[in-house]
């Protein structure tokens, strides 16, 4: 059965709403319209406007409402239409969502899932193409998850909604219409991936590519192209940025002795810098070369005609791998 990422996310929301009456979906245009990307299509018709509710265009108000809902025992799933649209709600995320459990001495958690379509590659303008993961990953008290496959989109969203801690769920919008042989109906509870586990998508011996979200397909393509150069590249899909799976990542890096971190967010103080530091600290005596990064440039997101030069590409990744072979 061929399923798109959008359909998998829709199925995850639908199944969560069916199984748990405390789950509610809210956001701009999530009801009648079914969301800008149609991820919530049909949910209002099936569950009613009280459980899949359209909100005013006020992101801080949407998330503030979700905080109140969670305090009264509900499990709200908030949709932010685009990555940069979530910034007006950032104060709610940092001051309340991330801190409530600590503020109350563990007596009150906020099981809120914040869905954020993010990243570029769709020809969008600057407020529709941000990679904002570093802001959330730097905020203690949040889980930060970003799927890259159809199956993980379903499974990780189910795990996020079931989590008793708040989860920022970053959806790579340029992969929304990617498809795979996957049937949500055939997924058992035991098969739903837990938050905090990376996955080796491709084993290898020459170097390890560490990536997540929208950059995974590019890294897999680079690994395929690298065979012509005689390189056998491993590819690790992080899936969860917080909590971070040091065990899987470090095992993959130690096996090759070389690593490149790939993401499309700006490089300076990005998530890749933290990953490079963690790998260096934990794998120092196994490294044959410095950990390198291939990222977006340290500029505001460029106009659509220029974004292909900004985003990590196969050529840029292979250039980094070539540097690893030379810097011994």
Which residues are known to be catalytic? 128
CA 222 to each of CA 218, 266, 267, 312: distance values in angstroms, whole numbers, following the listed order: 6, 20, 20, 10
Cβ-in-10-Å burial (0-12, 13-18, 19+) of 41 comes to: middle
Give the three-class secondary structure for 26.
Answer: strand
Using an 8 Å Cβ cutoff, are 224 and 235 in contact?
no
Bridge pairing between strands 2-4 and 179-181:
antiparallel
Give the three-class secondary structure for 22.
Answer: coil
Using an 8 Å Cβ cutoff, are 212 and 197 in contact?
no
Measured CA to CA, the distance from residue 251 to residue 282 in angstroms comes to 10
Measured CA to CA, the distance from residue 238 to residue 257 in angstroms comes to 18
Interacting residues of 74 by C-beta distance below 8 A, sequence separation 6+: 22, 23, 24
- 78, β-bridge pairs: 26, 114
The size of the chain, in residues, is: 328
Measured CA to CA, the distance from residue 268 to residue 299 in angstroms comes to 10
- Provide the greatest CA pair distance for the chain: 61
Measured CA to CA, the distance from residue 328 to residue 322 in angstroms comes to 11
Measured CA to CA, the distance from residue 141 to residue 100 in angstroms comes to 9
Measured CA to CA, the distance from residue 313 to residue 320 in angstroms comes to 11
Alpha helices by DSSP H, 234-292? 246-256, 271-283
């Amino acid at each position: 059965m061929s399923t798109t990422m959008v359909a998998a996310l829709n199925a995850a929301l639908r199944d969560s709403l069916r199984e748990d009456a405390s789950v509610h979906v809210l956001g701009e245009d999530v009801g009648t319209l079914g969301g800008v990307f149609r991820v919530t299509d049909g949910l209002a018709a099936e569950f009613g406007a009280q459980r899949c509710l359209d909100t005013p265009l006020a992101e801080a108000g949407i998330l503030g409402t979700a905080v109140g809902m969670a305090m009264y025992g509900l499990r709200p799933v908030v949709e932010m239409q685009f990555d940069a649209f979530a910034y007006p709600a950032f104060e709610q995320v940092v001051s309340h969502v991330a801190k409530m459990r600590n503020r109350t001495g563990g007596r009150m958690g906020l099981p809120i899932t914040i869905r954020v379509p993010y990243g570029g590659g769709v020809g969008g303008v600057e407020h529709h193409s941000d990679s904002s993961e570093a802001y959330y990953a730097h905020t203690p008290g949040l889980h930060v998850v970003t799927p890259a496959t159809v199956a993980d989109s379903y499974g990780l969203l189910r795990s996020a909604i079931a989590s008793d801690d708040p989860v920022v769920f970053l959806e790579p919008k340029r992969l929304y219409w990617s498809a795979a042989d996957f049937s949500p109906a055939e997924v058992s509870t035991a098969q739903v991936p837990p938050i905090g586990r990376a996955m080796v998508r491709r084993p290898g011996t020459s170097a390890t590519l560490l990536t997540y979200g929208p950059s995974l397909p590019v890294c897999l393509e680079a690994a395929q192209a690298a065979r012509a150069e005689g390189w056998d590249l491993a590819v690790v899909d992080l899936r969860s940025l917080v909590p971070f799976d040091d065990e899987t990542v470090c095992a993959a890096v130690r096996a090759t002795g070389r690593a490149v971190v790939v993401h499309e967010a700006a490089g300076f103080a990005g998530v890749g810098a933290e990953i490079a530091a963690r790998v260096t600290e934990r794998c120092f005596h196994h490294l044959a070369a410095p950990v390198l990064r291939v990222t977006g440039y340290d500029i505001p997101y460029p106009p659509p005609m220029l974004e292909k030069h900004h985003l990590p590409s196969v050529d840029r990744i292979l250039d980094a791998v070539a540097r690893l072979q030379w810097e011994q």
